[in-house]
Amino acid sequence: MGANIAIPERKNLDTIPKLVKHWSVSLPDQELFVFYNGDRRESYTCRQVFQLAGKFSSRLRHQYGFKKGDIIANTLPNSPERVFTDLGIILAGCVTLNAATMFADGSDFLTSANNSGLLAAIVCPEGNGPAWRILKNYIRGDATSSTAVFACDKAPLMETAILVSRQPTGSRGHFLHELQDSTEPIFVEQGVQPDDILIVLTTSGSTGYCKLVAKTHRDLIDQWLDACNYVTEHSRQQWTTNVIYNDRLIGWLGGFPFGTYINADTRVLLDVFDTQGLKVGADLWKIICAEKVDYAIILPLDLDYLMNHTSFAVAADYKMKMICCGGQPIRKDQFLSYYAVAREVSVVYATTEAGLLSYDILQVSGISSIVAENKVKDYFCGQVAPGVEVRIVDADNKECQTGQVGTIHVKGRAVFRGYVNRVENPDPKTLLAFTKDGWLNTDDSGYFDEARNLYVLGRLKDVITFGAAFVYPGWLEPKITQHPAISEACIVPVSDPVLYHNICAIVKPVDGSDLSLQELETICRDIFLTDKDMEGTPVPKFYLILQDFPQTATGKVDRKILQKMAEEKFGVH
């Protein structure tokens, strides 16, 4: 089945609400989302998704009193509840914000709430989920209905917590069951325009996960259509309606349901409303085979789980059309191994601030020539995308020669204009992000080869590339030194075959302290809300306790010596 739309009609479907409504009429019974929770499969059609999200949209506007343009954070994990609340926010003409809840003190969430002018947050009020552990401290009065009063001086505009649960309590029932049984009308804000903000994304920064990037309907639709056009031109596959496996968090740029809303692609993912943790490769492959997945958008870490089951995959005699990988530097041996489960491999380089910057697609039949020509080297990211300009500069801001590593700067229509910040104008992080001549400084290092293929080596300076996350020692170290037993702390990278870097915490205890490695590990774990094995949670894996730190000639901590010590002890040799 194909869901291609004629160009004149496509031009009229220029917002997500229009597209979702269109599919509910033209393809009402097609499965739009398929969730797996263990062996249990649960699917929702185009009509069901539109109706359930439309009911929640009505609730937001008519029961809770929100208006067009109001910003509402969503802290729910991937689940049917996350889909219907996120899309409900969009249908209501409001703006969804992907809330970061990593630090136990709530500083990341509260800073984002204050900077964005957040009015409400959707949260599950049960269990020990990270968002609830923060928000419950600011709930005033009863928390057994569908909403609760929120009050915090650090987020003065936020007054409401919308409570979404699977456990009936007080007047609050099972959210999904109530929504399905509800007679509420479907509401779609008719005034939504292509250049209205659709979502506010959080991205990592030197002071934590507090930088906010706004994306419009036009931004996201254009980005997806550009990617589809590239696949059509450079792949053997024709992009019609497909089954896509993508387990990235729906609120992140890499996990947003582009194809599902824009092209009616079926999105397959895990329902982790009740359970969170590492995915098992065999389980992932079982789902991919059962659903006959065409395309998979998977982080290298999850792909590594699949590669541990390559023999099973080959024996199953099933291959996907394509795997799309990115989010962290990828080695050549990783890249080539992916052909065990897909006929084509696409590598992507993108950032939240600038969107899709480069990509390439290579067919399985070309493996021998790829190896012979050495086309794919470590950290290969393909050709610069159409409509994008990339330059690589040295420390003096002069353009690098072929093969010379420098800092990646970009320009293009998808490059953002600045971080969302209602508190400071102009936003200081925006001023630092752009050069005087208008280029966005990605803070990534890389180089071009003779064929103008781009290679991205990771973040510059002290930033640690931890899987798909970037860890800034400058905001983790102060949190460690808040402990009374620790005088100084230094966070350094350690080479890792899958994550690119793992993390080592090196500390100097206060005089007289008998701090142990086990106690140090507990201190570091307690900084974070989520489990240490959750995607993107930068809990150090390795630990060292030193009585003195080496110093540079200027009296600063010598990070290079400490990194060398950690690498020799814990790194891949």
Does residue 310 have a pLDDT over 60?
no
Does residue 452 have a pLDDT over 60?
yes
- Is 236 inside a domain boundary? no
Whether residues 83 and 126 share a domain: the answer is yes
Whether residues 54 and 70 share a domain: the answer is yes
Is the distance from CB of 461 to CB of 509 less than 8 angstroms? no
**CA quadruple 532, 537, 542, 546: dihedral sign:** negative
Whether residues 307 and 454 share a domain: the answer is yes
CATH number at residue 472: 3.30.300.30
Is the distance from CB of 221 to CB of 193 less than 8 angstroms? no
**197-206, 311-320, 524-533: range with lowest mean pLDDT:** 311-320
Contacts of range 284-291, beta carbons closer than 8 Å, 24 or more positions apart? 284/245, 285/309, 285/312, 285/313, 285/316, 285/341, 287/36, 287/245, 288/245, 288/318, 288/320, 288/341, 289/316, 289/318, 291/34, 291/243, 291/245, 291/266
- Is 322 inside a domain boundary? yes
In our burial notation (b when 16+ CB lie closer than 10 A, e otherwise), range 411-433 reads bbebbbebbbbeeeeebebbeeb
User: How far is residue 148's CA from residue 56's CA, in Å, rounded to a whole number?
Assistant: 17
Taking each helix axis as running N to C, give the angle between helix 46-58 and helix 16-26, from 0 to 180 degrees, rounded to the nearest 10. 130
**81-95, 114-128, 321-335: range with lowest mean pLDDT:** 321-335
- Is 351 inside a domain boundary? yes
Of the three residues 412, 431, 459, the one that is the final residue of a domain is 459
Q: List beta partners, residue 493.
A: 503
Of the three residues 212, 241, 265, the one that is the final residue of a domain is 212
Quick one: average pLDDT of 49-66? 98
What was the pLDDT predicted at 475?
A: 74
Note the pLDDT tens digit of each residue in 485-496: 998 899 999 988
3-state secondary structure 3-18: CCCCHHHHHHCCCHHH
Whether residues 307 and 369 share a domain: the answer is yes
Whether residues 416 and 517 share a domain: the answer is no
Q: Identify the helix (H) or strand (E) that includes residue 160.
A: strand 160-163
Number of domains observed in the structure of the chain: 3
Q: Which domain holds residue 336?
A: 278-459
- Is 18 inside a domain boundary? no
DSSP letter at 61 equals I
Contacts of 332 (CB under 8 A, 6+ apart): 376, 377, 378, 380
Per-residue pLDDT band at 535 (split at 50, 70, 90): low
**66-70, 168-172, 266-270, 429-433: range with lowest mean pLDDT:** 168-172
- Is 23 inside a domain boundary? no
- Whole-prediction pTM: 0.84
In Å, how far are 413, 489, 507 from 476, measured between CA atoms?
34, 9, 12
- Is 223 inside a domain boundary? no
CATH number at residue 430: 3.40.50.12780
Whether residues 448 and 331 share a domain: the answer is yes
Which residue type sits at 295?
Y
